[in-house]
Amino acid sequence: MSEPDTDHPEESVLHVGGASPYDVVVGHHLADHLPGMVGDALRVALVVPDALEELVDDVVAPLVESMPERDVTVLAVPDGEEAKTAEVANACWEALGEEGFTRSDVVVTLGGGATTDLGGFVAASWLRGVRVVHVPTTLLAMVDAAVGGKTGINTEAGKNLVGAFHEPAGVLCDLSLLETLPRDELVAGLGEVVKCGFIADPEILRLVETTDPADLVPSSPVLRELVERAVQVKIDVVVADLKETGGSSGSGHPGREALNYGHTLAHAIERAEDYGIRHGEAVAVGCVFVAELAHRAAGLPAELVDRHRAAFARVGLPTSYAGASFEDLLATMRVDKKSRGATLRFVVLDDVGAPRILSGPSEEHLRAAYEAIA
């Protein structure tokens, strides 16, 4: 697990191994770590959504104090998914060109998952790759988008179809930044945390099941442990299978695809709701659905299905869905990028911490699982 920093007990450093190793620091008030992650770059481009303008000075100050000759350019981008377009990426590239941004310069992102995806893609593509440091400001981005090197933008062809694997040079999960995050957004982030519990770390489930959900606030040591554990789950998965080419051990573990537990239905619901539902909320429903499916198609015990419902509901997430019809969701799932040809593929569990792929479940089982969450 993480190593407590004895000089800074309020922080933990999680190391990501592999070809491009980096650290993920989890704690409070971490801006002083930025200069170390950025190194001696003469230019820094800070990609930040308009709505987070008030955080900019806290990031720029340590970068300039540590190296007064350093230029920090702020690349203000639209909020949320509006940032993930070719036009915004192009505006960033133009700005880097004007600044004379070189291979030894660094992009820093400050924002949620959309900012991380866009800024990471700009860094991946500029000069065929410059370093990027992520400072995620949402729980969802801390435990998912900022770690593991997936970057991308949306196009007419679909979401995240244009992108690159580009691992960051460092990630700062500064829990203090969550103090101003709306409660619903924090709760949505817990959807991915609970998902990590089911696919890999039963201690996450125990913590969720034994902590008063009202105590899961940014200053809580339990929230910090949940973030550390969820990030560690993600690190372990991506180190074993960075490019999502599948489990290499022959154990049947789906590799990075395991992180998509619950996501096949979640993506279909998000699309049916025209993205008016939070990702973590859709993931909670999707995980309950896939547990119901595994119960019918692969013998997952009923108690584990109940445990899914109870864990997601306990943190305030939905476990049922009353929107689009089964037929509509099925049609969308069939074009999900994890489907191969016409065969539907789902990550399912044999047990907590034991994910595998279920290919081609019957329509009868799919319909019954849908009805169980309707």
Give the position of tokens 């039963």.
Answer: 202
Phi, then psi, of 300 in degrees rounded to 5: -65, 130
Nearest Cα residue to 323 out of 291, 289, 365, 361:
289
Residue type, 342: A
Size of the site for ligand GLY (CB under 6 A): 5
**Site map (CB under 6 A) of ligand GLY, residues 4-33, x = contact:** ------------------------------
356 touches 347 (CB < 8 A): yes
Q: Minimum distance from CB of 144 to ligand GLY (Å)? A: 5
In the 8-state DSSP scheme, what is residue 180? Answer: G
65 C-beta neighbours (distance < 10 Å), count: 11
Q: Which of residues 226-265 bind ligand GLY (CB under 6 A)?
A: 256, 259
- By three-state DSSP, how is residue 11 classified? coil
Regarding 84 and contact with ligand GLY (CB under 6 A), the answer is no
Regarding 148 and contact with ligand GLY (CB under 6 A), the answer is yes
Task: Mark the segment that binds ligand GLY (CB under 6 A) among 24-32, 41-49, 144-152, 302-310.
Answer: 144-152
Which sign, positive or negative, has the C-alpha torsion 219, 224, 226, 231? Answer: positive
Give residue number: closest CB to ligand GLY. Answer: 259
State the Cα–Cα distance between residues 342 and 362, nearest whole angstrom. 13
Residues catalogued as catalytic? 128, 150, 192, 234, 244, 256, 260, 263, 267, 279
Q: Minimum distance from CB of 374 to ligand GLY (Å)? A: 27
25 touches 177 (CB < 8 A): no
Q: State which residue, 144 or 270, has the beta carbon closest to ligand GLY.
A: 144
Q: Per the structure block, which two tokens stand in for 329? A: 């969701």
Regarding 167 and contact with ligand GLY (CB under 6 A), the answer is no
Regarding 35 and contact with ligand GLY (CB under 6 A), the answer is no
Q: Which of residues 326-365 bind ligand GLY (CB under 6 A)?
A: none
Largest CA distance in the chain: 66
Q: Minimum distance from CB of 136 to ligand GLY (Å)? A: 13
Q: Minimum distance from CB of 244 to ligand GLY (Å)? A: 6
Q: Minimum distance from CB of 365 to ligand GLY (Å)? A: 25
State the Cα–Cα distance between residues 57 and 63, nearest whole angstrom. 10
Task: Mark the segment that binds ligand GLY (CB under 6 A) among 85-93, 142-150, 165-173, 271-279.
Answer: 142-150
Q: Minimum distance from CB of 281 to ligand GLY (Å)? A: 16
Cα separation values, 247 from 102, 166, 193, 252, 318, Å: 37, 20, 22, 7, 31
Q: Which residues bind ligand GLY (CB under 6 A)?
A: 144, 148, 150, 256, 259
